[in-house]
Amino acid sequence: MLKVKNYIHELETVSKKSFNNDEKMLLEKAIKMAEYAHEGFYRKSGEPFVNHPLEVSKILASLKLDITTLISGILHDSVEDSDGKVTLQDIEKEFGKNVALIVDGVTKVSKINAPVGNIDQKKKSETIQKMLFAMAEDVRVIFVKLADRLHNMRTIDYVDNKEKKRYKALETLEVYAPIAHKLGIHVIKWELEDLSFKVLYPEEYYKIKELVAQKKKEREERTNEYVNQLKLALKEHNINALIEGRYKHYYSIWKKMKEKNKNFDEIYDLIGIRAIVDDIKTCYTTVGVVHQIWVPLPGRFKDYIAAPKSNGYKSIHTTVITQYGEPLEIQIRDHQMHNEAEYGLIAHWIYKEKTVNLKQKWLLQLLDWRKELLKGSTNLSELKNELQLEEVFVLTPKGEIIHMPRGSTVIDFAYAIHTEIGHHFSGAKVNGKIVPISYKLKNGDVVEILVNKSSKGPSLDWLKYAKSPRTKAKIRRFFREQEKERLIDSGKDVIRKLAKRLNISIENLLENERLKTFMKNHSLSSEELFIRIGEGSITFNDLLSLIEKQEEQKKIKIKQKKNYKNLISIDGISTIDVHIAKCCMPVPGDEIIGISSRRGITIHRVGCKNIKNIEEERKFSANWISENSSGFNAAIEIELDKNERLPEIMNIFVSKKINISSLKVSESESWKTIFAQFTIVVKSLSELNELINDIEKKAGVIRVRRK
């Protein structure tokens, strides 16, 4: 049996506080319930299962969390892993509603296997909704879950199943470490990253570990020298400060090497110094002292006290060049800022008078994400991306600081201010100058959004410039709510044209097994399918390639390849194998020429720019003998006055029974026109010219040219 009093003493030691008698009684009762729930169960390591929740509670105690959270940690697996011996009702009866709510939330989150890596995300919306809902009920749910995941990662070497081991590590790296970062709980984030790194990239992990160990003594000596220099200088200015060295953890070293394409020896910020002082005023005085000792690096001063990060992080960062010619980052903050930097939202939870604003902000953000998920406007991969994005801070004309994901544009900023401002966006000024919708925000930009109250709403084109998943979700939601019927009708039109193209009824098309499987895999009803088609996220060509049999497409390709030598004569000989050049895509009727290469003879159009400098001895005269019934690829570019013209152009292809292999749409630099680049299949130059003539007659077409 577990020595309960000894364990409670361990919790007190770790949390650096004493429990009162009532708290000790509750802890004792929780430990006994956990022992009863997990009796007879053992972990892969061979130790009793109850050791896991007790270690989780120790982690929570080290974070100085309240007694309710510690009890929840002790009981977090009791309902799920007790074979019905302990229920939520039992927990609520003995420990109250809050503990039961947290345990229930952790149980729900634990059942979620979040899609990670390249895994098909069939149940992404359903799973992430549960996760967000559980977190939003009580933020302590995620505190317990992070501690649970941390202990599981500490003991992951006992897991034999390699696939399960890698999945858990990847899920930790892609979901839980970013959430810890978003909450500002860096003490957990760093360890989760390193433990995941060790599982996913063991060779790289041990290599970095060895490289760090090789120069450990040298770095420690250098760091101590810098610390003593700063201590002495601050003492001369009568500044009380706790000065400590800090070291980059393994995963962040490897990540920086990979992102910057650098060797280990080229990473100069492996060490840094942190100065913790008494108050904000002293933080700024300390900066002056630091810059008297060492020369500051231009552009490397960041004031997160004046402009805190969105997760509440406050500190001053300055990078200097030391007497050894190496860059050294120094962080300066007061004691409260330091607690918040290490423990994030947990620190705000502990200082209850500071809790409300940040806590509410986080919960509101989670609930907002959940609403968007319920409406099908965003998904797990977008949430993961948002959690992992770096940030920039920009200012409103009134000086309010707005945090945005790095890479955000002015349209993202408009929607971040208010959804209605985003919907009625008509332009933007940055630092007093008009900028395009594609302008990427930079730190310190002052952004003014121009609004047209009489506009009908956003344009689908804005999705191309929106970088934030939440902005995209709001734009999509607008069209779903405001133009649902129009999108459905537009989607049905495409389905109607596809059915006509395939010479089957609409009913038979919707019963197509490939289409039904596609809809099932993407959780689409018929109505949702029509909406997706109407808004353009599923195209005519997507559906065509989905439904047409791959075997038939392969036969066409094989037939084309086999028959080329019977279609083209080279120097009067028609039995030579030839290839059709992809750069200029000649079709029967074009003037052509043969170019010898390692592959054999490649057929180009006479005017192809890629053959201008080819030696004469590699050129052969070539002529068409006959047409190929399967057709040839050709590329055309159409310039239009607006996006809405595209359906009319598509109608021409459908009416002429011309297959579209690919479509790419882009906007001109002035945004006044759009370019649609089609790759199509035609039988001859005359058919291609007839198509181009018909397109040129359409309203809104500025020009058509063959690529």
The pLDDT of 133-147, averaged and rounded, is 76
Exposed / middle / buried, residue 355 (Cβ in 10 Å: 0-12, 13-18, 19+): middle
Per-residue three-class SS string for 18-58: CCCHHHHHHHHHHHHHHHHHCCCCECCCCCECCHHHHHHHH
DSSP letters, 205-260, are HHHHHHHHHHTHHHHHHHHHHHHHHHHHHHHHTT--EEEEEEE--HHHHHHHHHHH
Measured CA to CA in angstroms, residue 329 lies from 290, 387, 677 at distances of: 11, 25, 49
| Domain end (from 548, 577, 597) | 548
> Is 413 domain-assigned?
yes
Same domain for 58 and 125: yes
Q: What is the pLDDT of residues 405-459, one digit of tens each?
A: 778 999 999 998 888 899 999 999 988 899 999 999 987 688 999 999 888 888 8
Same domain for 476 and 571: no
For residues 379 and 92, which has the higher predicted lDDT (pLDDT)? Answer: 92
Rounded Cα distance between 401 and 404, Å, is 10
Active site residue 507: no
Tokens of 563: 């028959």
Handedness of CA 379, 382, 384, 387 (dihedral sign): negative
> Is 352 domain-assigned?
no
Active site residue 81: yes
Q: What is the pLDDT of residue 345?
A: 59
Same domain for 570 and 607: yes
For residues 696 and 486, which has the higher predicted lDDT (pLDDT)? Answer: 696
| Domain end (from 319, 343, 367) | 343
Is residue 397 classed as helix, strand or coil in its secondary structure?
coil
| Domain end (from 518, 548, 578) | 548
Q: What is the pLDDT of residue 551?
A: 37
> Is 372 domain-assigned?
no
pLDDT class of 658 with cuts at 50, 70, 90? confident
Measured CA to CA in angstroms, residue 375 lies from 25, 231, 396, 655, 706 at distances of: 46, 56, 30, 36, 42
CATH code for the domain in which residue 338 is found: 3.30.460.10
Tokens 């344009």 identify what position?
459
Q: What is the pLDDT of residue 358?
A: 46
Cβ-based neighbours of 574, under 8 Å, separated by 6 or more? 565, 566, 568, 625
CATH code for the domain in which residue 159 is found: 1.10.3210.10
Cross-strand pairs, 705: 637
Rounded Cα distance between 364 and 378, Å, is 16
Q: What is the pLDDT of residue 552?
A: 46
> Is 456 domain-assigned?
yes
Poorest-pLDDT segment among 80-89, 120-129, 267-276, 617-626? 120-129
Q: Give the residue numbers spanning the domain of 491.
A: 483-548
Q: How many CB atoms lie within 10 A of CB 118?
A: 6
Same domain for 222 and 169: no
CATH code for the domain in which residue 476 is found: 3.10.20.30
Same domain for 686 and 564: no
For residues 133 and 608, which has the higher predicted lDDT (pLDDT)? Answer: 608
Same domain for 322 and 231: yes
Rounded Cα distance between 487 and 530, Å, is 7
> Is 371 domain-assigned?
no
Q: What is the pLDDT of residues 94-128, one digit of tens each?
A: 999 989 988 988 887 776 666 565 444 444 444 44
CATH code for the domain in which residue 686 is found: 3.30.70.260
Same domain for 122 and 27: yes
> Is 357 domain-assigned?
no
> Is 373 domain-assigned?
no
* Percent of the chain whose predicted confidence (pLDDT) is above 90: 23
The helix (H) or strand (E) run that includes residue 327 is strand 327-334
Q: What is the pLDDT of residues 153-208, one digit of tens each?
A: 999 988 888 888 888 898 888 778 877 776 777 788 889 999 999 999 999 888 88
Q: Is the pTM of this model over 0.85?
A: no
Same domain for 156 and 25: yes
Rounded Cα distance between 212 and 339, Å, is 27
DSSP letters, 85-125, are SS-HHHHHHHH-HHHHHHHHHHHHHHT-----TT---TTHH
Length of the chain: 707
Q: What is the pLDDT of residues 357-397, one digit of tens each?
A: 444 455 555 555 555 555 555 554 555 555 444 567 787 88
Q: How many CB atoms lie within 10 A of CB 554?
A: 10
Number of domains in the chain: 6
Catalytic residue among 12, 28, 81, 326: 81
Poorest-pLDDT segment among 4-18, 335-349, 623-637, 689-703? 335-349
Same domain for 488 and 475: no
Same domain for 502 and 442: no
Residue 338: which of 191, 184, 193, 231 has the closest Cα?
184
Q: What is the pLDDT of residue 596?
A: 76
Same domain for 648 and 600: no
User: How high is the mean pLDDT of the chain?
Assistant: 80
> Is 203 domain-assigned?
no
Residue 465: which of 409, 406, 525 has the closest Cα?
409
Same domain for 172 and 58: yes
| Phi then psi dihedrals of residue 457, to 5 deg | 140, -170
Catalytic residue among 80, 94, 303, 694: 80
Q: What is the pLDDT of residue 148?
A: 93
Q: What is the pLDDT of residue 150?
A: 94
